[in-house]
Each structure stands twice: as structure tokens, then as C-alpha cells.
Amino acid sequence: MAEVTVTIAGRNYRMACDDGQEDHLHKLGDLVDRKIADMRSSFGEIGDMRLTVMAGIVIADELAEARRKIGELDEKIELLRKADAKGVVAFEHDTAQAVEVVDRMSG
């Protein structure tokens, strides 16, 4: 188990993570730190705890929106798969009928 130190809002936090995940954890910490910095520049000094909570809520909202969009895309993909499967079945049916017609005309 690896340990990394991330800096968020000027404070260092030592965290454990799986080996190989150190860079990912640093990037996540940077994301939270940037979000807090952006909010601080928009709202001024309203308290570290409040900024941290607000940043967490904004990030959670972005995550919820991303999950919603993924769900919509999954539904569209499923509809396309079903439509494609129906198209393949229809094509096979039409091809079989055409073969029967050709067989009758040949025979």
C-alpha cells in the first residue's frame, strides 16, 4: 500500500492508496484543490469548511450529471443494438425468401 500527500486549500493530507494509484490520487487532489480555488475567487473568503463542502457538492453534481448522460447513452446503445438485431433478422428473412423464389424459378 502506497502513501501520498495531497495538498488541498493549502493544507497537506497524507493518504494511502493502492500501489500504482499515486498519480491518480494526486490528480484527484488537484481537481478538488482547483475547484476550491475557483470558488474562493468567485465567492471570496467564506470559510474553508464552507468552501470545501460547496466544492464537494459541485463535484458530486458534475458526477451525477455525467452518470445521467452515461445512462442516456447506454439506453441509446441498447436501442441501436435492438434495432440492428431486428434489421439482421429481417435481412435474413428477406434473403431466405429470395432464395426460395430463385429455387422455385430454377426448378
Q: What is the model's pLDDT at position 44?
A: 83
Torsion over CA: 10, 13, 19, 24 (sign): negative
Query: What is the arithmetic mean of pLDDT over 11-29?
Result: 96
pLDDT tier for residue 107 given thresholds of 50, 70 and 90: low
Q: Which domain holds residue 18?
A: 2-106
> pTM for this one?
0.67
pLDDT tier for residue 45 given thresholds of 50, 70 and 90: confident
Residue 5 clears pLDDT 70, i.e. is over it: yes
Angle of the 48-106 helix axis to the 22-43 helix axis, nearest 10: 120
Q: Exposed, middle or buried by CB within 10 Å (0-12, 13-18, 19+), for 8?
A: buried
Mean pLDDT of the chain: 87
Q: What is the model's pLDDT at position 89?
A: 65
Instruction: Tell me how far apart the alpha carbons of residues 69 and 38 are, in angstroms, rounded to a whole number.
Output: 25
pLDDT tier for residue 67 given thresholds of 50, 70 and 90: very high
Instruction: Tell me how far apart the alpha carbons of residues 55 and 61 are, in angstroms, rounded to a whole number.
Output: 10
User: Of 4-18, 39-53, 77-91, which has the strongest mean pLDDT?
Assistant: 4-18
> What's the total number of domains in the chain?
1
Q: Enumerate the β-bridge partners of residue 3.
A: 16
